[in-house]
Amino acid sequence: METICHRCGATLHSPDIYCPVCGSPQLRVLADDEAANPANGGAGEGHPAFDSRLISWRTAVKVALLVALPVGALSSLLNFGVLWVIAGGIAAVALYRRKTLRLVNQRAGWRIGGLAGILAAFIATVFDGLTMLFERYVQHNGGVIDQRLQTLVQQATDHMVQSNPEAAAQIPWFIHFWLSPDGHAAVVLMMAIFSAVSMALFSAVGGAVGARFFAAKTSAAHNS
């Protein structure tokens, strides 16, 4: 079995003490119980010794991008969906494990899933922007888009005025701002930010859940 760097995943030659790519030292000391239990990050049958907290980011970026493409496209075309975003985080961890032959703890799974969510959010935002440009300038539906935003903002400002009329009377400029084109642009920007943060968080949760599930599954397989 070829030896790989526990930090970057580069292939090592047997006499190498330091990784020729990242310079990380390759000498590690494992406790007996850690070496016997792969679920805790030790070496097990079919797995090289490694620290499950460390991530091969080159591989992580590749698998995250592979997962982010369909998740981002679905989130844009079919609106944001929690289930497939969480599933994307789980899939990213599964692909990472398959490519690196490493166990992943929950913290590393959170990071890999979060990376997939960030990339998916970026892709979804690009899809949304291109869709809006297509509808406005190719299909000439700009009036429909503006009316949709106007209705959304008008409902929000009406609710604000009804819930606290005194505050609304003291800051009329605030109400007028949201009804202006600049206010509409601010609403679109805030919605995009909220969607991106939500996708990153839910995907990170999926990554953590996936890491825990796969670690438990591997541990059960070795104990059986």
Using CA atoms, how far residue 157 sits from 89, 163, 164, 184, in Å, is 37, 10, 11, 12
Interatomic CA distance for residues 191 and 143, integer angstroms:
20
Query: At residue 23, does pLDDT exceed 80?
Result: no
- 187 inside domain: yes
Query: At residue 52, does pLDDT exceed 80?
Result: no
Query: Which residue in the block uniquely carries the two structure tokens 């999926």?
Result: 206
Range of the domain at 112: 55-223
- 117 inside domain: yes
- 66 inside domain: yes
What tokens appear for 219 in the block? 């541990």
- 157 inside domain: yes
Q: What is the mean pLDDT of residues 192-208?
A: 95
- 35 inside domain: no
Q: What is the mean pLDDT of residues 185-203?
A: 93
- Its pTM stands at 0.69
Query: At residue 80, does pLDDT exceed 90?
Result: no
Averaged pLDDT score across all residues of the chain: 80
Tell me the HSE value of 83 on the side-chain side, using a 13 A CA sphere: 1
Confidence (pLDDT) at 45: 42
Confidence (pLDDT) at 212: 92
**Number of domains into which the chain is organized:** 1
Strand partners, 44: 47
Tell me the HSE value of 199 on the side-chain side, using a 13 A CA sphere: 31
Query: At residue 63, does pLDDT exceed 90?
Result: yes
What tokens appear for 17 in the block? 């003490």
- 68 inside domain: yes
Closest CA to 112 of 61, 148, 157: 61
Confidence (pLDDT) at 77: 84
Interatomic CA distance for residues 222 and 186, integer angstroms:
54
- 142 inside domain: yes
Closest CA to 5 of 44, 38, 49, 60: 49
Interatomic CA distance for residues 91 and 222, integer angstroms:
22
- 80 inside domain: yes
Confidence (pLDDT) at 96: 95
Of 11-20, 62-71, 79-88, 182-191, the range with the lowest mean pLDDT is: 11-20
Terminal C-alpha separation, the chain = 24
Q: Residue 48, Cβ neighbours under 10 Å: how many? A: 15
Q: Is 76 left (phi over 0), alpha (psi -120 to 50) or beta?
A: alpha
Higher pLDDT, 170 or 117: 117
